Structure 1
Amino acid sequence: MQFEHVTLGQRVLFGSGQSAAHLAAEVDRMEAARVMVIASEFERPMAEVATNRITPVLWWDEVVMHVPVEVAERARTAAAAHDVDLIVCVGGGSTTGLAKAIALTSRIPVIAVPTTYAGSEATNVWGLTEDRTKTTGVDDRVLPVTVIYDADFTRTLPVGLSVSSGLNALAHCVDSLWAPKADPINHALALEAARALATGLSGIVTDPEDMTPREQTLYGAYLAAVSFASAGSGLHHKICHILGGTFNLPHAQTHATVLPYVLAFNAPGVPELAARLAAALGRPGAEGEDPAQAAVVALNDLRERIDAPTALADHGLEAADIPEATRRVLAVFPPTNPAPATEEDITLLLTAALEGTTPTPRVPSRL
């Protein structure tokens, strides 16, 4: 066994109903005097709860999906004008993404208070969109110094969005199994995260008022993001960044929809990992069952139980978009992917995701 693993340095505070106390203590610890709070209009009530023991100098509510460059520039200008020395972002991935965009050019530290299962708070990955193209990068300046998890804030997340957001987190797990820098530590984190997410999401759907599955899902989302931050971006995320940045598809729903098709494409090339994933999702393969088939069936079963989104057509993608999306995916296709891909392969994958056909393992075309 030989590998190189990097663990990012970050403080994590986890406790339902404790966000305000945790945030006040962190602001004191960091000796911050001029705090900027980023929260969309929808997220404002939760942000007011989290910040009720501090006095921000600036509230910012212009939060846009996929972080357009022009929005980031306006927020950067406002932070500089108010001499901000700490950013607190309360919300989902778009809110965290904007905070990262400011930190990228200003080096202002960020404290993240997530209200979804996006996972961006635990990675050093940033993303900005300009001219229908989403550009991502890795930079330790954007990694939040502290993450404050409070499952109470997920109570207002509708069940359907909880499912999409949780499957977005699960996509971090799956990509971490074969991303460019995947290693045994990433695998261990990702598989435990998959177990927690499968258990938690099923529980949220069964009883949305029960806090235990919400905490499990939040815990799983964090582990998934940590594994992804170390392993890097694989095929799934390459596809979804293109679909989101170029066609403005909603982030969580796109990830939730595309995930089983990428798994079906890649699982035949990594049978041992596929078998471990099936077990983590709660459906170990039967004796003699193909591991790729077991993994795909396990994910399909979970998605059916929690009523996951099934077709990109429901979220704005059209058949006419497939050729451009295919070209863009092939241009960034990871060389370390478990299976090579032709134009036909990616076209078929995207078409299946567009139409919502049942994913099944398939031997991809060989180059």
Structure 2
Amino acid sequence: MLPFVYNALPARVIFGTGTLAQVVQELRNLGCSRAVVLTTPHQVEQGKAVKNLLGDLCVGLYTKATMHTPTDITDAAVSAVQELHADCLVAVGGGSTIGLGKAIALRTDLPQIVVPTTYAGSEATPIIGQTEDGVKTTQKTLKVLPEVIVYDVDLTLTLPSKMSVTSGVNAIAHAVEALYSKEANPVVNLLAQEGIKAIASALPIIIHERDTPSLREARSGALYGAWACGTCLGAVGMSLHHKLCHTLGGTFNLPHAETHTVILPHAIAYNTPYAADAIAKVASSLGVTNAAQGIFDLAKTLGGPYSLKELGMKEADLEKAADIAVRSPYPNPAPLEREKLLELLRNAWAGTRPE
């Protein structure tokens, strides 16, 4: 056994069906009584339901969470939270809402309860990404790690098919990069393989057997996999895949989960010659022999996006994206060479199946 270091993150996790009702007691356990509920404009009704559930323990509902966590939105949200004299944040939604909760917590130190409704996984991490003037940056600090995560399978039953695929592959990306991270360790390796297998097994059932009794079990498996993959993301550093996705999202405003879905097969192919053992674990968890092709085929056959072109990326911007991606060094199994990165981006733009 090789030596390793593993840091467990201090978060409380509640997983099950009908667990949303436990948010009230969790709020009290934190000693809080003036919560603000956060959502995106598209999830206002879910936010209202949680606000009603909390009753007098809730002092407001803020519904302007936005993709890539723009700092101007955070500015306005912090002002609103402070005017309400809030003592806790309850984020209900996916990565956009969770990101806003983290951004507010970074500035105010308010405790967070997160109720995920997608498979984003960011709720399990002390990582925040923020966008200012077209540039997305990330930082890692325990100040943004939610105190409590409440996973309720019921809240994912109506997650649209395409969003299920893209947020699921987004979660898988966390586990893939954890396996070849420089901080990889046996604990994270087990979680990563478990998470990949759980999500990859669940997604075909979610898409093709939507009205069968097996749907709830598949939704439960996918949500469990999302927690496992998100925990990997929080425990170790990420590499090329996440760097490219942050570049494409922050600078070119491409949708977050969809971009992860398109880029992941190509990032795997780029790193495979330099991380053969880790990528073999990915392939085994997927039940395939070629991990890059396995991810590509999984997303495409389930109706997910597979080209940057269909996400609105301009071919003329690929050069700029490659320049940004190599601007600051970061750990990655394969050397970061601009021309090879540009080739990766061109293949991803065209939707070419990895070799």
Q: Structure 1 residues 273, 257: closer, same or farther in 2, change over 3 A?
A: same
In structure 1, the residue matched to 2:72 is 70
Segments ≥4 residues shifted beyond 6 Å: none
Give 1:258 deviation, angstroms: 0.3
In structure 1, the residue matched to 2:61 is 59
Counterparts of 1:204 and 1:270, CA distance in 2: 31
Count residues with an aligned counterpart. Answer: 349
**Corresponding residue SS for 1:148:** strand
Structure 1: gaps spanning 5 or more residues: 286-293, 361-367
**Corresponding residue SS for 1:52:** helix
Alignment check: 8 A CA contact 2:34 2:87 kept? yes
In structure 2, the residue matched to 1:233 is 238
Whether 1:296 and 2:292 are equivalent positions in the alignment is yes
Whether 1:24 and 2:19 are equivalent positions in the alignment is no
Counterparts of 1:35 and 1:299, CA distance in 2: 40
In structure 1, the residue matched to 2:179 is 177
Whether 1:193 and 2:195 are equivalent positions in the alignment is yes
**Corresponding residue SS for 1:53:** helix
Give 1:44 deviation, angstroms: 2.1
Alignment check: 8 A CA contact 1:15 1:149 kept? yes
Whether 1:262 and 2:267 are equivalent positions in the alignment is yes
Of 142, 145, 167, which aligns to 2:144? 142
In structure 2, the residue matched to 1:365 is none
TM-score normalised by length of structure 2: 0.95
Q: Structure 1 residues 359, 333: closer, same or farther in 2, change over 3 A?
A: farther
Whether 1:328 and 2:324 are equivalent positions in the alignment is yes
User: What is the one-letter code of the residue matched to 2:342?
Assistant: T
Counterparts of 2:188 and 2:68, CA distance in 1: 26
CA RMSD of aligned residues (A): 1.3
Counterparts of 2:267 and 2:143, CA distance in 1: 31
TM-score normalised by length of structure 1: 0.92
Counterparts of 1:314 and 1:147, CA distance in 2: 34
Alignment check: 8 A CA contact 2:40 2:96 kept? no
Q: Sequence identity, in percent?
A: 39
Of 117, 120, 134, which aligns to 2:119? 117
Alignment check: 8 A CA contact 1:13 1:149 kept? yes
Alignment check: 8 A CA contact 1:159 1:204 kept? yes
Alignment check: 8 A CA contact 2:34 2:59 kept? yes
Q: Structure 1 residues 96, 186: closer, same or farther in 2, change over 3 A?
A: same
In structure 2, the residue matched to 1:6 is 7
**Corresponding residue SS for 1:83:** coil
In structure 2, the residue matched to 1:34 is 34
Alignment check: 8 A CA contact 2:293 2:353 kept? no
Alignment check: 8 A CA contact 2:296 2:306 kept? no
Give 1:54 deviation, angstroms: 1.2
Q: Structure 1 residues 318, 69: closer, same or farther in 2, change over 3 A?
A: same
Give 1:274 deviation, angstroms: 1.8
Structure 2: gaps spanning 5 or more residues: none
Alignment check: 8 A CA contact 1:179 1:233 kept? yes
In structure 2, the residue matched to 1:105 is 107
Counterparts of 2:37 and 2:66, CA distance in 1: 15
Give 1:261 deviation, angstroms: 0.1
Whether 1:348 and 2:343 are equivalent positions in the alignment is yes
User: What is the one-letter code of the residue matched to 2:44?
Assistant: R
Give 1:308 deviation, angstroms: 2.5
Give 1:51 deviation, angstroms: 4.1
Of 270, 278, 289, which aligns to 1:273? 278
Give 1:333 deviation, angstroms: 4.2
In structure 2, the residue matched to 1:247 is 252
Counterparts of 2:131 and 2:352, CA distance in 1: 30
Deviation track 1:118-155 (CA, whole Å, cap 9, x = no partner) reads 11110000111011100110110111100011121112
In structure 2, the residue matched to 1:81 is 83
Give 1:164 deviation, angstroms: 0.6
In structure 2, the residue matched to 1:338 is 333
Alignment check: 8 A CA contact 2:241 2:263 kept? yes
Counterparts of 2:50 and 2:224, CA distance in 1: 19
Give 1:83 deviation, angstroms: 1.1
In structure 2, the residue matched to 1:160 is 162
Alignment check: 8 A CA contact 2:51 2:61 kept? no
Counterparts of 1:71 and 1:215, CA distance in 2: 32
In structure 2, the residue matched to 1:363 is none
Counterparts of 1:298 and 1:202, CA distance in 2: 13
In structure 2, the residue matched to 1:291 is none
Alignment check: 8 A CA contact 1:186 1:228 kept? no
**Corresponding residue SS for 1:172:** helix
User: What is the one-letter code of the residue matched to 1:184?
Assistant: P
**Corresponding residue SS for 1:42:** helix
